[in-house]
Structure formats: structure tokens, C-alpha cells
Amino acid sequence: MQAGNRYNNKADEKGWIKGIILIIAWILIFSMIRDLSKVKKGYLRIEDSKKRLEAEEMKNSELKEKLSLVMTDEYKERLIREQLNMQKIGEVVAVLPKEGVTMENGEENTESSIPNWKQWWLLLK
């Protein structure tokens, strides 16, 4: 009987050791899966960053192109002529009123509201 107990003790010890090894293996497997998912998320973030970088580089190149156009003398001259109503020596600037702007006598430009025949009648009176 004592001999049988010896073998059972060794089998029980081997079972515990196998159980502990199995638990450690599962822990390692789960930690590796978790680490792999973190690495995958990291690669996705890198790809998103690359896309945003490309978009910003394109926007930067467009802005540089606009800047080069704005810095030209032709653009500056056009701004001076259009916004400041300035002219070169010998040129004349004609400023035309927009539609619906009041005239000098305070009346509004209502030509479009009066029929054409009535305007002629008023003119000939």
C-alpha cells in the first residue's frame, strides 16, 4: 500500500505542475494577443497620420502657390485699381453706381418698375 501512495503523490505533483504550466501558457497567450492588438492599432494610427500629413502638404503647396501669385506686381496693381480706385497717370477711372442705389436728388432708381411707355410719356410731357 505504501508503494501505491508513492506513485499517486508523484502523479498528483505532475498534475499540479502541468496545471501551473497550462495557466502560465494561457496568460502568455492572452498577453501576446493583447500586445498584437495594440500594435495593430498603432499601425492604423500611423496610416491615419500619413493621410493627414499628405492632406496638409497638399494644402501647404496650394497656399504657397497662392502666395506666389499674390506677391506678383500684376496682382498688386489689380488690387490698387479695383479696391482703391486709383489709376496711372493719364488714365481716367469711371465709377458706375450699382442698381437700386439712390441718385443725387434722393430718389431711388426705379426705371425698372415703371413701364417703358409710361417713361416715354413722362419724357414727352
Structure confidence at residue 84 as a pLDDT band (50, 70, 90):
confident
pLDDT at 36 over 80: yes
* Predicted local distance difference test score (pLDDT) of residue 28: 97
d(CA 3, CA 67): 95
Ordered by start, the domain boundaries in the chain are 2-88
pLDDT at 24 over 70: yes
The closest alpha carbon to 56, from 23, 48, 106, belongs to: 48
Stated pTM of the model: 0.45
pLDDT single digits (tens) 90-113 = 887 777 777 765 656 555 555 568
**Cell numbers 417703358: residue:** 116
